[in-house]
Chain A
Amino acid sequence: MKRKITLKINGKPRSDEVEPRLLLIHYLRDVLGLTGPHIGCETSLCGACTVSLDGKAVKSCALLAVQADGREVLTIEGLAANGQLHPVQQAFWDEHGLQCGFCTPGMIMASRQLLERNPNPTEAEIRHGIDGNLCRCTGYQHIVNAVKAAAAKAGA
């Protein structure tokens, strides 16, 4: 039996009938066409599917779409505002914080939360903050630089 959910996606209200077992990541990607969040494992281990739910970074493969009912979801697509990249997006670009880009949307969402909680993180705190997100390309160093750069800009 499908269930009706009503939620806010990237600032816009939305309502859909979904299977109770539909994962939030599949709802976002297959139903809404928001293919920015990626699937790297479906077992909540890689972080590629990270989105923000009511302001908290979550792995959207570990949630059902129905669990997002009545809540607010922000995906990487909703991050840039008025044609302006979010400072974390900009920093990933400037600091070469990505290669293949597959981990990047999740990594940016995790970094954004990290900076919200700790606007001036040390290298160790940055590494800890993105520990739930795997990247096989960058060796993380330029990601660390990107988060530092975004922090410095926000502090400046």
Chain B
Amino acid sequence: MGTTTAIRTKTYVGERIRRKEDPRLITGTATYVDDIQMPGMHHASIVRSPHAAARIKGIDAKRALETPGVVAVFTGADVKEVGPVPCGASLPGLRVPQHSILARDRVYFVGHPVAVVVATDRYVARDAVDLVEVDYEPLPAVADPERALEPGAPAVHPEWPDNVAFTYHQEGGDVNKAFAGAEVVVKQRITSQRLIPTAMETRGVVADWRAGDKALTLYSSTQIPHLLRTLVAMMLGLAENRLRVVAPEVGGGFGSKLNVYAEEALMGFVAMRIGKPVKWIESRRENFAATIHGRGHVDYFELAANKDGTILGLKLKLIQDLGAYHQLLTPAIPTLSVLMIPGVYRFQNVFCDIVGVFTNCVPTDAYRGAGRPEATHGIERMVDILADELKIDAAEIRRKNFVRPDEFPFATATGLSYDSGNYAAPLDKALEIVDYNRLLEEQQQARKEGRLVGVGISTYGEICAFGPSPATPAGGWESGSVNIDPTGKVTVATGASPHGQGEETTFAQIAADELGIDIDDVVVVHGDTAIVSYGIGTFGSRATAVGGTAVYFALQELKKKIGTFGAMLLDSGDVSYRAGRCICNKTGKSVSLSEIAAASYRAMKLPPNTEPGLVSTCFWEPPNFTFPFGAHIAVTEIDRETGAVSVKRYVAVDDCGKIINPLLVDGQVHGGVVQGLGQALFEQAVYDETGQLVTGELMDYAVPKATMVPWIESSHTETPSPVNPLGVKGVGEAGTIGASPAIVNSVVDALSHLGVQHLDMPLTPERVWRTLQQHGGQA
């Protein structure tokens, strides 16, 4: 019968439940932005700068406008009223360039939007882009952040000739004393190259303006529909309640859609001007040139220690390539690196300086891990370099320096409080899985045979579940609403806006367990500001730890109310709720959730001081971040003739707190590891010295393919977080954070007996081969 809500005693949390979102995705019936069609819909295509730096002397759109089907061309002069692209991060003394949605008199990077062509047809719009004549006067450009800091380097923004956007200092403990008393100091320059996030779905926007209602609807491939709504409304001068933002199916983000982009406001502007719906879909080339990049660090590390391997202190000078502008969080990202620079280790003396540098490149911003992979890569490389210097085993030196299980909550030198942990547990498990001692013997044997085999360990810690609001740029809480229909069916609305992570399933697991009902009776909705009152979004591995907790507390509220109605219906003062029924503890009589729901809406009779209906909303503010951790081990072998690295084994033991759905957690680990491995071995955004983007297409940028990645042996330890009642921490970024140092440590280990101390990513065959030549290790 359609109206009964099935009850269930078995729990879902902790089970490998296949996803509720999949049927639409595997049948090709999901709706991504580019799948949206509207009557009268126009198409926009964007004219972008081919130069890294140039003055715009004039724009002639005459020929474009004469093309049949073209209805409008807008340039920087037309959009003066639209507010700037927002930067949500604030740092003392931060220089914020004026960032208008279309270039005014200058362009600052290849791909900078200059004009938009609007036509009745996609092809016509693209053709007409080539007919817009822009008269550029090219200017000197600088693409390398260290070069940008040299005296006499071209100024990205003429008003700031030193190219410095900000400096930032953070220290804890007494680093001078630590270094003065140290028996050994190791130093290394370590880079984390620029990366292109490459979500398989590029960005896209459909804007629909209803003049009669003065209401705009934006469909955008975004991770943050609500923040986008607030900020685009401000940019367009619209009342926020006249703007609805929908994040339909989103084809991956990885941080690149945790942003507010020029094109999102621009499409709103265009729709309002032409009075018709308009669609813009980013091409892959545009995606590479004009969607944020990640990483872009040059880091100078110094690590002080005693001869027994005890780490005493760390110094870091961090140069962050910001690109030409600040996008939403650009300047904040390197501050996360500094926060997490102690990793999983106990040392209490830290001294860090960041220089944020403008370059004539597309802005950097949050890309999977956002600041933490850089930090982890740095500290995990440095620990290996120290171990090598002191001839201490890489596992042993880590164990010696781990924060001990009884030291939690642990106060770091950078001001964080690590919630819980047992750092040796995943390391021990990983060592056991690879059979570490035997592996080291095999490595010795391989060396004797002239083969280059390496074993690399990384023990990472990360910060997740962003986060307490005072520590975030835009509020760090999340909203969860639970709505039980008169028939007893349950709808969960979350402000987290998942885009592939599977929260339609995990949140349904939580709700089904709490209410003791079948998971098929729960629907999870998200991603539409007209359905979810407000929310923050999915990023920083926060959706379950913060958004799931909000849902959990909304459910607790609701369960109280269910109990109140149940008590009334059973005419009992002593009831309990089990398996979808309210039961009188004295008589054993019970009423089902459906009956309670019907009674609550029908409201023939209400319990004292109780409103009709079963709806509850919670905005949950987390008291702290969460701190997942883990140990990854990579075994690699290098082909002496080609320098190619092959990953023989990859073991990942991750502790992300309590696991709600192991199947989905494994998926997150696999995807994360492969992105970290992509950085370690293959990927790099390359700008030449004139600021041309050399890796402008998938042909030139090596996104890992199925044949390029190893089998990942994934397992877990489970240390619950005390920060939330679910005990969860977060897992979206863990794999990425753990992977790059494991791989690089492994490759360096394979070459260490030749005198190699460090290699910068990506470890392409060419780079490894050249290193072999330099160190006499050629075939």
Instruction: State whether A100 touches B252 (Cβ < 8 A).
Output: yes
Q: Does any Cβ of B come within 8 Å of A103's Cβ?
A: yes
- B706's contact among A75, A100, A101, A127, by CB below 8 Å, is which? A127
- Residue interface bits B194-209, CB-to-A below 8 A is 1, else 0: 0000111110000000
Known: A38-B32, A39-B34, A139-B670. A45 touches B500 (CB 8 A): no
Note all chain B residues with C-beta closer than 8 A to A34.
Answer: 28
Q: Of A1-9, A52-60, A65-73, A87-95, which stretch is located at the interface? A: A87-95
Instruction: State whether A75 touches B28 (Cβ < 8 A).
Output: yes
Note all chain A residues with C-beta closer than 8 A to B30.
Answer: 101
How many A-B residue pairs have C-beta atoms within 8 angstroms? Tell me. 170
Instruction: State whether A77 touches B123 (Cβ < 8 A).
Output: no
Instruction: State whether A101 touches B27 (Cβ < 8 A).
Output: no
- Residue interface bits B24-37, CB-to-A below 8 A is 1, else 0: 11111111101101
Q: List 6 A-B contacts (CB under 8 A).
A: A38-B32, A43-B698, A45-B698, A104-B25, A139-B735, A143-B706
Chain B contacts to A: CB under 8 angstroms: 18-19, 21-32, 34-35, 37, 122-123, 198-202, 249-252, 254, 281, 283-284, 499-502, 663-664, 666-667, 670-675, 697-699, 703, 705-707, 709, 711-712, 735
> Could you tell me the distance between the alpha carbons of A121 and B770 in the complex, rounded to whole angstroms?
37
Instruction: State whether A134 touches B705 (Cβ < 8 A).
Output: yes
Minimal Cβ-Cβ distance residue in B for A132:
B705
User: Which among B26, B37, B122 has the highest number of chain A CB atoms within 10 Å?
Assistant: B26
Note all chain B residues with C-beta closer than 8 A to A133.
Answer: 706
Instruction: State whether A93 touches B200 (Cβ < 8 A).
Output: no
Q: Does any Cβ of B come within 8 Å of A128's Cβ?
A: yes
Note all chain A residues with C-beta closer than 8 A to B698.
Answer: 41, 43, 45-46, 134
Note all chain A residues with C-beta closer than 8 A to B28.
Answer: 34-37, 75-77, 105
Instruction: State whether B667 touches A142 (Cβ < 8 A).
Output: yes
Q: Does any Cβ of B come within 8 Å of A33's Cβ?
A: yes
Note all chain B residues with C-beta closer than 8 A to A94.
Answer: 18
Minimal Cβ-Cβ distance residue in A for B284:
A41
User: Which among B22, B23, B735 has the highest number of chain A CB atoms within 10 Å?
Assistant: B22
> Could you tell me the distance between the alpha carbons of A98 and B21 in the complex, rounded to whole angstroms?
10
- B122's contact among A26, A46, A123, by CB below 8 Å, is which? A26
Instruction: State whether B664 touches A96 (Cβ < 8 A).
Output: yes
Measured CB to CB, the closest approach of chain A to B244, in angstroms, equals 22
> Could you tell me the distance between the alpha carbons of A144 and B27 in the complex, rounded to whole angstroms?
19
Minimal Cβ-Cβ distance residue in A for B502:
A99
User: Which among B18, B28, B123, B663 has the highest number of chain A CB atoms within 10 Å?
Assistant: B28
Measured CB to CB, the closest approach of chain B to A111, in angstroms, equals 11
Note all chain B residues with C-beta closer than 8 A to A141.
Answer: 666, 670, 711-712
Minimal Cβ-Cβ distance residue in A for B21:
A101
Minimal Cβ-Cβ distance residue in A for B668:
A99
> Could you tell me the distance between the alpha carbons of A33 and B34 in the complex, rounded to whole angstroms?
11
Instruction: State whether A96 touches B667 (Cβ < 8 A).
Output: yes
Measured CB to CB, the closest approach of chain A to B140, in angstroms, equals 32
Chain A contacts to B: CB under 8 angstroms: 19, 21-22, 26, 29-30, 33-43, 45-46, 48, 75-77, 79-80, 85, 89, 92-94, 96, 98-105, 108, 123-124, 126-128, 130-131, 133-144
Known: A36-B27, A127-B706. A99 touches B18 (CB 8 A): no
- B251's contact among A85, A100, A126, A142, by CB below 8 Å, is which? A100
Note all chain B residues with C-beta closer than 8 A to A75.
Answer: 28
- A93's contact among B26, B122, B201, B251, by CB below 8 Å, is which? B26
Note all chain B residues with C-beta closer than 8 A to A143.
Answer: 706
Note all chain A residues with C-beta closer than 8 A to B283.
Answer: 42
Minimal Cβ-Cβ distance residue in B for A99:
B500
Instruction: State whether A101 touches B249 (Cβ < 8 A).
Output: yes
Known: A40-B284, A96-B19, A100-B252. A138 touches B671 (CB 8 A): yes
Instruction: State whether B25 touches A98 (Cβ < 8 A).
Output: yes
Minimal Cβ-Cβ distance residue in A for B499:
A100
Instruction: State whether A134 touches B709 (Cβ < 8 A).
Output: no
Note all chain B residues with C-beta closer than 8 A to A30.
Answer: 37, 122
Measured CB to CB, the closest approach of chain A to B562, in angstroms, equals 33
Measured CB to CB, the closest approach of chain A to B542, in angstroms, equals 17
Minimal Cβ-Cβ distance residue in B for A37:
B28
- B500's contact among A33, A38, A93, A101, by CB below 8 Å, is which? A101
Instruction: State whether B670 touches A138 (Cβ < 8 A).
Output: yes
Minimal Cβ-Cβ distance residue in A for B714:
A141
Instruction: State whether A136 touches B706 (Cβ < 8 A).
Output: no
Note all chain B residues with C-beta closer than 8 A to A38.
Answer: 32, 34, 200-201, 251
Minimal Cβ-Cβ distance residue in B for A126:
B706
Instruction: State whether B707 touches A127 (Cβ < 8 A).
Output: yes
Minimal Cβ-Cβ distance residue in B for A40:
B200
Measured CB to CB, the closest approach of chain A to B249, in angstroms, equals 7
> Could you tell me the distance between the alpha carbons of A41 and B30 in the complex, rounded to whole angstroms?
19
Measured CB to CB, the closest approach of chain B to A74, in angstroms, equals 11
Measured CB to CB, the closest approach of chain A to B584, in angstroms, equals 42
> Could you tell me the distance between the alpha carbons of A124 and B706 in the complex, rounded to whole angstroms?
9
Instruction: State whether B26 touches A99 (Cβ < 8 A).
Output: no
Known: A38-B32, A40-B202, A43-B284. A89 touches B706 (CB 8 A): no
Known: A19-B123, A127-B706, A127-B707. A142 touches B26 (CB 8 A): no
> Could you tell me the distance between the alpha carbons of A79 and B711 in the complex, rounded to whole angstroms?
29
> Could you tell me the distance between the alpha carbons of A38 and B699 in the complex, rounded to whole angstroms?
19
Instruction: State whether B284 touches A76 (Cβ < 8 A).
Output: no
Known: A43-B697, A46-B698, A94-B18. A139 touches B674 (CB 8 A): yes
> Could you tell me the distance between the alpha carbons of A152 and B199 in the complex, rounded to whole angstroms?
31
User: Which among A45, A123, A128, A130 has the highest number of chain B CB atoms within 10 Å?
Assistant: A45
